[in-house]
Amino acid sequence: MSKVYITDTLTKEKVPLEPIEPGIVKMYVCGPTVYNYIHIGNARPMVVFDAFRRFLEFIGYKVVMVQNFTDIDDKIINEAKEWGVDWKTVADTFIAEYFHDAHLLGVRAANFHPRTTDFVDDIVNAVQKIIKNGYGYVAANGDVYFSVRKLADYGKLSGKNPDDLRAGARVDVNELKRDPIDFVLWKSAKPGEPTWQSPWCAGRPGWHIECSVMSQKLLGDMFDIHGGGEDLIFPHHEDEIAQSEALTGKPPAKYWMHNGMIIVRGDKMSKSLGNTFLLREAVRRYGKDGVKLFLLSKHYRSPIEFSDDLLDDNSKAALRVHAALNRFREKYPYPLVPKEDEEMKGMIQRFTEALSDDFNTPVALSVIFDALRELNKSMDSGNDERALKMYHLIKRVFGPILGIFDTESPKKSESSAVSTNLDVLIKSLIEVRNEFRKAKQFELADKIRNVLSESGVKLFDTPEGTKYEIIEQERKMEG
């Protein structure tokens, strides 16, 4: 088994992956809060950690992967109120929609997908133990808080210092807390909210405790890799470390891996900022492999600047690969397994070396595009044997490791025809608006902008001309 190196967020160093139990990698990745459709920012950790898991399996590891669903939360409760249904209906709906999207994207299910509300008894027991061990206290209203100052090295993952946090928290003093930086383990319910029984009050778990409890339950006191988006480093993962240390005296994971954010004009893509682009819309417009190439073409720790142009470029690159694979399949409907020669071995080695070096997918993808060039060249020159080798590498070795090019090439569907028409329509309206602006008829130009905006199409005037984005539509039920 070749050595794999990853960047550990805790030590900030590239370190060899040495699983606690040789040959088995146990991995916990924080999943979504299920109150809406997932967007392309949510999809990044899904794609990155799915591909990382496939790679570890390819080089011979057994991987046990857990990804949770946060199925109780203020946002779920608010959504339920708005719909006039109970919280569980909202959670069930968006868990089902999550699996629909994961399937569209070719992201495999984890071994376990625990839901917070299935573990409330275990969470109550853990909170009791944290109190007993001297790290938690019950506030006047029945809330339970974690006493951050009891841990000498709180802040080690995020590099945040409790004194600085306390200074920053001064404006938001909560009288129930002994210290403004303490965080909630169990919270009392407001009237009308769903509740679970506990020794302190009827209420529900705080956010961070669920991951500590579910990871411990399913993977043990200490597992190998804890993953997630870098926006979770603080406070979520910092607080998970605090809770685990209070419970077991040990951090929950040996290594921490975090993916970078999708950036939209300087901000991270997030539902609360209203700048999201829904995953299924992205797949509809750019294809599964276009979206996956977009997400894997940058190193997982780097941010990706969201742009239609970048998605479009990746979509075209994916179509080039599919065109070559289809061309080969038309000529050879029953391709056999080629005998591995030095050239193939060399390419597989370059591919796996790139992924072993902190999961460098951009370099691994460059090997796929080298193989694509050679596939086309070999078909042009009639070198069938070599063409089969390159086909085999792309379709059966590299593609499945990254979860790309493993399905048949996309056919032009009705929906993509609609999407093309929509693109033409919006671009024509932009042209008309620009004509009005040139003629200084600003009122009419603004009218076009407003009509588009009301339909969820936002215009951006850039030095290269006017660009547009389809922004997430509010999905509110009438009445």
- Binding site for Zn(2+): which residues? 30, 211, 236, 240
Instruction: Pick between residue 188 and residue 215 the one whose CB is nearest to Zn ion.
Output: 215
Q: How far apart are the first and last CA of the chain?
A: 59
Smallest separation (angstroms) from Zn ion to the CB of 374 = 43
Q: In the bound complex, what is the minimum distance in angstroms from residue 212's beta carbon to Zn ion?
A: 8
Nearest residue (CB) to Zn ion, 70 versus 198: 70
Residues 6+ apart with CB under 8 A from 215: 28, 66, 223, 226, 240, 252, 253
Candidates 24-32, 85-93, 119-127, 397-405: pick the segment binding Zn ion (CB under 5 A). Answer: 24-32
Q: Is the Cβ of residue 19 or residue 228 nearer to Zn ion in the bound state? A: 228
Is there binding between residue 282 and Zn ion (CB under 5 A)? no
Name the residue nearer to Zn ion (CB basis): 65 or 325.
65
Q: Determine the size of the site formed for Zn ion (CB under 5 A).
A: 2
430 is a site residue for Zn ion (CB under 5 A): no
Per the CB < 8 A criterion, the answer to whether 206 and 183 are in contact is yes
Give 160 or 236: the residue with its C-beta nearer to Zn ion: 236
Q: Could you tell me the smallest distance in angstroms from the CB atom of residue 116 to Zn ion?
A: 10
Q: Are 453 and 417 a contacting pair, CB within 8 Å?
A: no
**Among residue numbers 76 through 115, which ones bind Zn ion (CB under 5 A)?**
none
Q: One symbol per residue from 193 to 212: x for binding Zn ion (CB under 5 A), - otherwise; what is it?
A: ------------------x-
Rounded CA separation 196/459 (Å): 46
Least separation, in Å, of the C-beta of 228 and Zn ion? 6
Residues 25, 53: Cα–Cα separation, whole Å: 9
Residues comprising the binding site for ATP?
Answer: 271
CB of 239 to Zn ion, least distance (A): 9
Shortest separation between residue 45's beta carbon and Zn ion, angstroms:
11
Which of 240/374 has CB closer to Zn ion? 240
Contacts of residue 309, defined as CB under 8 A and 6 or more positions apart, other chains included, come to: none
Instruction: Report how far residue 106's alpha carbon sits from residue 282's, in angstroms, rounded to the nearest whole number.
Output: 14
Q: Is 30 near Zn ion (CB under 5 A)?
A: yes
Q: Build a one-symbol-per-residue string for 209-238: x at contacts with Zn ion by CB under 5 A, - elsewhere.
A: --x---------------------------
C-alpha span between 447 and 433 (Å, rounded)? 9
SS3 assignment for 166-219: HHHHHHHCCCCCCCCCCEEEEEECCCCCCCECCCCCCEEECHHHHHHHHHHHHH
Burial 381-394 (b: 16+ CB within 10 A, else e): eeeeebbbbbbbbb
Interacting residue ranges for Zn ion, rule: CB under 5 A: 30, 211
